[in-house]
A = this chain, B = another copy of it.
Amino acid sequence: MKNYVYGIDLGGTTVKMGLFDSEGTALEKWEIVTRKEDSGDHILPDIAESILKKNEEKNIVIDDIEGIGIGVPGPITEDGQVLKCVNLGWGIFSVADKLSELTGVKKVKVGNDANVAALGEQWRGGGRGFNSIVMVTLGTGVGGGVILNGKILTGSNGAAGEIGHLTVNPKESKSCNCGKNGCLEQYSSATAIMRMAREGLAASNRVSMLRDYKEVTGREIFQAYTAGDELAKEIVDEFAFYLGLGLSHVAQVVDPEAFVIGGGVSKNGQVVIDVIKEHYEKNVMFALKNKEFRLAELGNDAGMYGSVRMVLE
């Protein structure tokens, strides 16, 4: 094993980068801007340049580097090909080959960002101690990642673990961003619960604590829920009903040891797990009841840790 590993989480606005030792300890973290112009052609050269600069700064030679891991916001095949990445303007090509060529580092491991974050949480975060977990990230959308026996489940088209687009309500008339109707993301993302609050407040003059806040985000909704506010209860119930149902589907298919809940909404803590579990338990068969539910611990660093893990495993 060589001395250093680079762990990278490529996002739509910034690239999170980390230099790690071969034990997986973070030595340094920094960010660069994701330049999306020109079909995203600058992104990998920028990342390579930043790595080479860090090497110089730290007196690291290429032979000291075990590898580079990178999480990318799009479907990735098992051999490191990206199959389009709308956010970045990317088409189909091998991220692994390209980044290897640009840096001179042979071992480059590439994964989908949500899957890589799940791997990070399983390795060093809320999923520590479990071999098989499913992570669900409740943010702008709903992301997911399935880790089986310590490895990312990629799927035949890089689309395994796309939990946010489980059709949990086939009767829904409104469309999801993905073009389908009734996706989990339409009810259980941060965006969705904020929308429900807005709509709920606009629909009538009913009394609600939510009217007292300047801005209503997940935090205010869960605060009001805990305080017994009725509108907040309706919103949280809908959020939890669909999320519990969606996670029950996941369990019926892969039977993981634990679920790890991350993303902005998870910052409201144990109450989030409590409400999800209630609906999860109703919708799984006997053998799948009483799974462990944990909160994510690594926040925005999960992707970097997972990237490092891909290199070290």
- For the complex, what is the distance from the CA of A132 to the CA of B158, rounded to whole Å? 13
- For the complex, what is the distance from the CA of A132 to the CA of B153, rounded to whole Å? 11
Cβ-based interface call for A162 (8 A)? yes
Interface residues of A in 160-184 (CB under 8 A from B): 160-163, 165-167, 170, 178-180, 183
Contact B159 A285 (CB under 8 A): yes
- For the complex, what is the distance from the CA of A60 to the CA of B132, rounded to whole Å? 41
Contact B165 A285 (CB under 8 A): yes
Chain B's closest residue to A161 (CB) is B253
Interface residues of A in 101-152 (CB under 8 A from B): 131-132, 146, 148
Cβ-based interface call for A69 (8 A)? no
Q: Which residues of chain A have a CB within 8 Å of any CB of chain B? A: 75, 83, 131-132, 146, 148, 153-163, 165-167, 170, 178-180, 183, 241, 245, 248-257, 282-288
Contact A257 B156 (CB under 8 A): yes
Chain B's closest residue to A170 (CB) is B245
- For the complex, what is the distance from the CA of A256 to the CA of B161, rounded to whole Å? 11
Chain B's closest residue to A162 (CB) is B252
Q: A153-B148, A156-B132, A245-B170 are in contact. Are A252 and B287 (CB under 8 A)?
A: no
Contact A159 B249 (CB under 8 A): no
Contact B159 A288 (CB under 8 A): yes
Shortest beta-carbon distance from A280 to chain B in Å: 10
Chain B residues, CB < 8 A from A284: 165, 167, 180
- For the complex, what is the distance from the CA of A131 to the CA of B77, rounded to whole Å? 14
Shortest beta-carbon distance from A91 to chain B in Å: 15
Contact A256 B156 (CB under 8 A): yes
Shortest beta-carbon distance from A111 to chain B in Å: 14
Contact of A167 among B132, B153, B183, B248 (CB under 8 A): B248
Contact B288 A162 (CB under 8 A): yes
Contact B283 A155 (CB under 8 A): no
